[in-house]
Amino acid sequence: MVERVSPLGEAFRPGTYGNLAEGPGVTLTEATPAAIAEASAFPGSTEPLLAAIETVTGLSLPATPGAGAVGDGAAVFAIGPGRYLVSGAEGLSASLQAAVALDIGTVTDLSHGRAALRIAGPRAEWVLAKLFALDFSPAAFPVGEGRATAHHDVFAHIQRTGGDQFDIYVFRSFARAFWQELCAAAEETGYEVG
Judged by CB under 8 A, the chain residues 84 through 123 that form the site for another protein are 102-103, 105-106, 108-114
One character per residue 23-42, x = contact with another protein (rule: CB under 8 A): ---------------x-x-x
Q: Which of residues 119-178 bind another protein (CB under 8 A)?
A: 129-135, 137, 140, 145, 147-150, 152-155, 171-174, 176-178
Q: Nearer Cβ to another protein, position 154 or 162? A: 154
CB of 131 to another protein, least distance (A): 7
Candidate residues 12, 18, 88, 158; the one interacting with another protein per rule CB under 8 A: 18
Residue (71 or 135) nearer to another protein, CB: 135
Which has the closest alpha carbon to 82: 94, 98, 70, 66?
A: 66
Give the 3-state secondary structure of residue 189. Answer: coil
Where in 42-71 is the site for another protein (CB under 8 A)? 42-44, 46, 63-66
The strand ranges marked E within the chain are 15-17, 26-31, 35-41, 68-71, 74-80, 83-88, 105-109, 114-120, 146-151, 154-162, 165-171, 191-193
Compute the distance between CA of residue 40 and CA of residue 6 in angstroms, rounded to an integer.
26
Q: Residue 129 or 143: which CB sits closer to another protein?
A: 129
Q: Whose Cβ is closer to another protein: residue 58's or residue 101's?
A: 101
15 scored as a contact of another protein (CB under 8 A): no
Measured in residues, the chain has a length of 194
Report in angstroms the alpha-carbon separations of 157 from 1, 15, 80. 28, 26, 10
Q: Kindly tell me the sign of the dihedral angle through the C-alpha atoms of 97, 103, 104, 107.
A: positive
